[in-house]
Amino acid sequence: MPAFDPWRLLRPLQVFISPLVLLALWEIGARTGMIETKFFPAPTTIGAQFAATLMTAEFWNDLRLSLSRLFIGLLMGGVPGLLLGLAMGLSRAMRVTFQPLIAALYPLPKIAILPLILLMFGLGEMSKYVIVAIGVFFLMTLNTFAGVINIKPIYFDVARNLKASRWQTYVTVALPGAVPGILTGLRICVGSGLLLLVAAEFVGADAGIGYRIWWSWSVFWVEPMYVGLMVIAILGFAFAYLIDFLEGLLLPWLRR
């Protein structure tokens, strides 16, 4: 019978140790005057503002708008990126055709082209969808492509020996084999999408989490600005764990 290890019960809580230590030091610094509370309010003050914000209909409307913009942008950029990544991984002609374009366009800062997107699509919802979709498209394409080219060649040989069509090879070999790369791309895409969405809402929206952060800065009301940042951080944390859960369902052999 193995010896009882009391620390094993505390291991799931280790993920909270560093944030709690940081918050405790922040609180002490704010309460003792070691840091300027005009710029860094105490975490308890921010927490009280967060609780008050949760009680307003305005917050839930902002959250709904930001999430809908994020999801639509992820679909608009992720699905074409997924299909192109699969095609590039399976076809040399597609790879030779599109790889130079992606290599040239991917390094361009997506936030830098936001003014162009606003000129083309205006200040409406489409500009938010497009800027998120552009960033997501390249990330999903590259990660899906990497997932396909890392599939062992023997699987494609079996598909050819079984006279599988190109579509059957897509569905039964390339897509399942690329799932690890696709999930990695999705994890990166969500973080990048949140960043681009907040930037778009800074300058081209009258509602949304990013807009509230910018508005709080413009009136120098610091606590709501930190609440907006906290919401973005919570969304990123929640999406990361959701994708990890999805990965455990789809790829249980990769679970650590």
Q: Is the pLDDT of residue 187 over 80?
A: yes
Task: Give the lowest-confidence range in 160-169, 181-190, 213-222.
Answer: 160-169
pLDDT of amino acid 86:
85
Q: Is the pLDDT of residue 88 over 90?
A: no
pLDDT of amino acid 72:
93
**Range 202-231 average pLDDT:** 85
C-beta separation of 188 from 135 below 8 A: no
Please report which residue ranges of 55-151 form alpha helices under DSSP H.
Answer: 57-90, 92-105, 114-121, 125-149
Interatomic CA distance for residues 85 and 141, integer angstroms: 4
Is the whole-model pTM more than 0.95?
no
SS3 state at 241: helix
Please report which residue ranges of 106-221 form alpha helices under DSSP H.
Answer: 114-121, 125-149, 153-161, 166-169, 175-177, 179-204, 209-218
Please report which residue ranges of 11-56 form alpha helices under DSSP H.
Answer: 17-32, 43-54
pLDDT of amino acid 253:
62
For residue 18, CA distances in Å to 15, 21, 27, 50, 74 come to: 7, 5, 14, 21, 31
Class of domain 62-250: mainly alpha
CB atoms within 10 A of CB 35: 16
pLDDT of amino acid 10:
57
Task: Give the lowest-confidence range in 60-64, 73-77, 245-249.
Answer: 245-249
**Range 185-197 average pLDDT:** 88
Q: Is the pLDDT of residue 97 over 80?
A: yes
